[in-house]
């Protein structure tokens, strides 16, 4: 007969009502091991008992209830001789009951929360009432219009009426789904779920972000869900601080002049040298006078981060137009010939007789030109410019073609030599008849005499040269030839060398048509390594996460009509000239990032004079943007229409 109290604590070592695990042997065979499982779920019985050392020997002291002393007894080292293999403990029924009780209580609470608030207000869930716990609240004004079409499905995944889809909604990440819905309307330059939409190094541990980390809807029509608090910004950044004036790190040494501009304008030279010239100070009431203050050249009425210059015609033309008109491009030059290769009869047939032509029966031929070919023609024809033996026949064949077809041979020469620009644009405005008449004179070994002076620029022949004269700033022909110069190359060393010589001539700041590049910077592309001339003004996009309003600051420093050029209260309060900067040389390597600014970098203390606690705002969003290149998709436009 079984003992009545065999499971009491003083009768059984296995009685542990608070333990979450039961012995694996008890679960399988109903015979638990004596020690039972440990509290962490591991087996607690690797041996039957613990031997006792008595009178110089080890003895087995297993209780009679467990079978008495084991047959083998302990080893000489005191290890139990009846070791049992461990088993895998299992959860107790008590533990399972506890978990089920918690889940049941949670379901009851959720149902009570869902059905305790009912109203007669019509909404998507019912025609006559709504469920309070499922009513998230009103949308902001900017998002209300999208709700009218697709309702909640605009942003949220529809769970429909199936129980399985509702259960899946509990365990799925709804933030990810909402982020995908956000980018259906909102666009950024970088990855939407990357901090600041930026690209970080692969070895940097960056957490993935979702829109709902910072933006939460259903706060009401007038709620501002785009603004962030400084605490939200500090939650991610490693360097945490509470305010700008005392905690923000110092500005970088280049701030804010990280990248050179598209225009090479040396403020130091102009302000300290050119604008001080007495010839520029004749009459301060005339527009050709030297600028008296910064806003003479920079517009300041509606500018934010960038202060645009007023443009060439308003601020540069007075001094530089005449310089541009003097820079002529020599396309063709009649070189020296050892002997004529053009048949006189053919020349007369194509051009007509010329009384000044040299007699073909003359014994000693003397070339009217002793010059070399132009560097442009040398490159295009692939010929050495100072070797008549090599270029004589080819150049005279070119003249013969011009006598027959005007400019067609010139276009063919450009196209055959791999000119990647439109050849017609390089010769825009060239009169075929003028080209023919010049070639006819050269074929007769005569200098070409221009009928009239080219008062308005353009293409014309003059003695031994075929020239293009620009008609002013932004001349399209000159721009195309300079674009051609920066991309010209070759398949062999000789062609590459000729391309370099031609490029040096076309881009020379002192001679030739290269006056443009005195002001327009040349930039090398990072990926392909190609050069390009920056013809257009571009805003500074390097600091896309920083915002600054010149307009607001100019109003602050000019409250009573103080000149903005005032060294203490005007533009110079922040922008101080750096006379020692190697400004012009920083344009020579074609890298826009190796830049020596005309101005001394702005320090944090300049800003903290005003932006400090108790003075002017100093929160993060005042100067920093989170998103990069924010924009909207076409969906927004369609919805508004």
Question: Model confidence over 410-463: pLDDT tens digits?
Answer: 888 887 766 666 677 788 888 888 888 888 888 888 888 887 777 777 888 888
In this predicted structure, the answer to whether residue 157 has a pLDDT above a threshold of 50 is yes
Question: Model confidence over 173-190: pLDDT tens digits?
Answer: 677 778 888 888 888 888
Cα-to-chain-centroid distance, residue 27 = 65
**How does strand 465-469 pair with strand 458-462?**
antiparallel
pLDDT score, position 360:
53
Question: Model confidence over 122-142: pLDDT tens digits?
Answer: 443 334 444 555 567 788 887
Question: Model confidence over 319-334: pLDDT tens digits?
Answer: 788 788 888 888 888 8
Question: Model confidence over 381-400: pLDDT tens digits?
Answer: 888 888 888 888 888 888 88
Q: Identify the burial level of 32 via C-beta atoms within 10 angstroms of its C-beta, where 0-12 means exposed, 13-18 middle and 19 or more buried.
A: buried
CA nearest neighbour of 152 among 139, 171, 133: 139
151/141 Cα distance (integer angstroms): 15
Is-above-0.85 flag for pTM?
no
Question: Model confidence over 199-238: pLDDT tens digits?
Answer: 888 777 788 888 888 888 888 888 888 888 888 888 887 7
**Positive/negative CA dihedral, 347, 348, 354, 358:** positive
Higher pLDDT, 285 or 598: 598
Q: Which of 113-117, 263-267, 401-405 has the lowest mean pLDDT?
A: 113-117
Write down the mean pLDDT value for the chain. 77
pLDDT score, position 170:
62
163/605 Cα distance (integer angstroms): 62
Higher pLDDT, 188 or 34: 188
Average pLDDT over residues 143-149: 72
pLDDT score, position 362:
53
In this predicted structure, the answer to whether residue 370 has a pLDDT above a threshold of 70 is yes
Question: Quick one: what percent of the chain has pLDDT higher than 70?
Answer: 79
pLDDT band at 534 (very low <50, low <70, confident <90, very high): confident
Close Cβ partners of 353 (under 8 Å, ≥ 6 residues apart): none
How far CA 488 is from CA of 44, 170, 469, in Å, comes to 84, 64, 22
In this predicted structure, the answer to whether residue 120 has a pLDDT above a threshold of 50 is no
Question: Model confidence over 190-202: pLDDT tens digits?
Answer: 888 888 888 888 7
In this predicted structure, the answer to whether residue 264 has a pLDDT above a threshold of 80 is yes
Question: Quick one: what percent of the chain has pLDDT higher than 90?
Answer: 0
574/132 Cα distance (integer angstroms): 56
203/208 Cα distance (integer angstroms): 14
pLDDT score, position 128:
45
Give the count of beta carbons closer than 10 Å to the beta carbon of residue 607: 19
H or E segment to which residue 333 belongs = strand 329-333
pLDDT band at 283 (very low <50, low <70, confident <90, very high): very low
Average pLDDT over residues 497-521: 84
**How does strand 90-91 pair with strand 118-119?**
unpaired
Average pLDDT over residues 352-357: 67
pLDDT band at 42 (very low <50, low <70, confident <90, very high): confident
Helices and strands (DSSP H and E) totals, the chain: 22, 13
Question: Model confidence over 63-93: pLDDT tens digits?
Answer: 776 677 887 788 888 888 777 777 888 887 7
pLDDT score, position 171:
63
Helices (H), 5-92: 24-29
Give the count of beta carbons closer than 10 Å to the beta carbon of residue 390: 14
In this predicted structure, the answer to whether residue 345 has a pLDDT above a threshold of 80 is no
Average pLDDT over residues 32-47: 76
Give phi and psi for 523, each to the nearest 5: -125, 140
534/482 Cα distance (integer angstroms): 11
pLDDT score, position 218:
84
Contact status, residue 225 vs residue 219, Cβ threshold 8 Å: yes
Close Cβ partners of 559 (under 8 Å, ≥ 6 residues apart): none
CA nearest neighbour of 388 among 346, 341, 350: 341
Average pLDDT over residues 536-559: 70
Higher pLDDT, 354 or 547: 547
In this predicted structure, the answer to whether residue 583 has a pLDDT above a threshold of 60 is yes
pLDDT band at 265 (very low <50, low <70, confident <90, very high): confident
pLDDT band at 113 (very low <50, low <70, confident <90, very high): low
How far CA 46 is from CA of 37, 41, 91, 529, in Å, comes to 10, 14, 20, 73
């Amino acid at each position: 007969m079984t003992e009545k109290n065999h499971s009491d604590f003083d009768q059984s070592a296995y009685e542990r009502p608070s333990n979450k695990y039961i012995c694996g042997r008890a679960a399988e065979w109903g015979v638990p091991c004596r020690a039972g499982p440990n509290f962490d779920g591991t087996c607690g019985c690797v041996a039957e008992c613990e031997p006792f050392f008595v009178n110089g020997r080890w003895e087995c002291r297993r209780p009679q209830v467990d079978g008495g002393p084991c047959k083998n007894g302990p080893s000489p080292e005191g290890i139990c001789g009846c070791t049992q293999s461990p088993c895998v403990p299992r959860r107790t029924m008590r533990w399972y009951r506890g978990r089920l009780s918690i889940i049941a209580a949670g379901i009851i609470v959720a149902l009570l929360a869902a059905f305790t608030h009912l109203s007669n207000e019509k909404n998507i869930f019912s025609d006559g009432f709504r469920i309070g716990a499922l009513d998230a609240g009103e949308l902001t004004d900017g998002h209300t219009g999208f709700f009218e079409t697709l309702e909640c499905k605009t942003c949220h995944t529809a769970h429909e009426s199936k129980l399985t889809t509702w259960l899946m909604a509990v365990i799925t990440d709804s933030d990810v789904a909402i982020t995908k819905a956000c980018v259906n309307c909102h666009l950024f330059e970088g990855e939407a779920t990357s901090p600041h939409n930026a690209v970080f190094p692969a070895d940097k541990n960056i957490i993935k972000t979702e829109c709902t980390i910072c933006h939460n809807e259903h706060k009401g029509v007038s709620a501002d869900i785009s603004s962030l608090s400084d605490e939200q910004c500090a939650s991610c950044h490693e360097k945490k601080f509470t305010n700008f004036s005392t905690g923000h790190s110092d500005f970088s040494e280049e701030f804010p002049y990280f990248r050179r501009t598209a225009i090479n304008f040396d403020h130091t030279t102009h302000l300290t040298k050119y604008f001080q010239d007495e010839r520029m100070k004749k009459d301060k009431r005339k527009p050709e006078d030297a600028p008296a203050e910064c806003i003479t050249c920079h517009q300041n009425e509606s500018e934010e981060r960038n202060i645009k210059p007023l443009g060439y015609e308003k601020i540069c033309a007075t001094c530089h137009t005449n310089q541009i008109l003097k820079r002529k491009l020599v396309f063709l030059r009649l070189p020296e010939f050892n002997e004529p290769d053009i048949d006189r009869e053919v020349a007369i047939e194509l051009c007509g007789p010329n009384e000044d032509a040299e007699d073909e029966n003359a014994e000693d031929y003397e070339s009217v030109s002793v010059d070399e070919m132009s560097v442009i023609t040398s490159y295009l024809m692939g010929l050495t410019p100072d070797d008549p033996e090599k270029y004589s026949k080819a150049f005279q064949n070119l003249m013969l073609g011009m006598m027959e077809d005007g400019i067609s041979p010139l276009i063919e020469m450009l196209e055959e030599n791999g000119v990647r620009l439109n050849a017609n644009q390089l010769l825009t405005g060239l009169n075929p008849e003028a080209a023919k008449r010049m070639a006819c004179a050269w074929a007769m070994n005569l200098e070409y005499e221009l009928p009239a002076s080219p008062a308005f620029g353009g293409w014309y022949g003059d003695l031994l040269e075929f020239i293009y004269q620009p008609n002013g700033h932004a001349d399209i022909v000159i721009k195309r030839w300079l674009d051609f110069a920066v991309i010209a190359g070759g398949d062999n060393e000789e062609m590459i060398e000729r391309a370099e010589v031609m490029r040096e001539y076309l881009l020379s700041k002192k001679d030739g048509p290269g006056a443009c590049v005195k002001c327009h910077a040349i930039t090398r592309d990072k990926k392909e390594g190609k050069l390009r001339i920056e013809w257009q003004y571009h805003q500074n996009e390097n600091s896309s996460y920083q915002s600054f309003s010149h307009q607001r600051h100019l109003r602050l420093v000019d409250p009573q009509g103080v000149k903005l050029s005032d060294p203490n209260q005007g533009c110079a309060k922040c922008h101080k000239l750096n006379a020692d900067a190697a400004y012009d040389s920083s344009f020579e390597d074609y890298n826009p990032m190796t830049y020596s600014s005309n101005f001394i970098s702005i320090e944090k203390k300049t800003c903290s004079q005003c932006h400090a606690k108790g003075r002017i705002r100093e929160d993060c969003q005042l100067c920093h943007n989170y998103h990069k290149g924010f924009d909207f998709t076409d969906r927004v436009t369609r919805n508004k229409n």
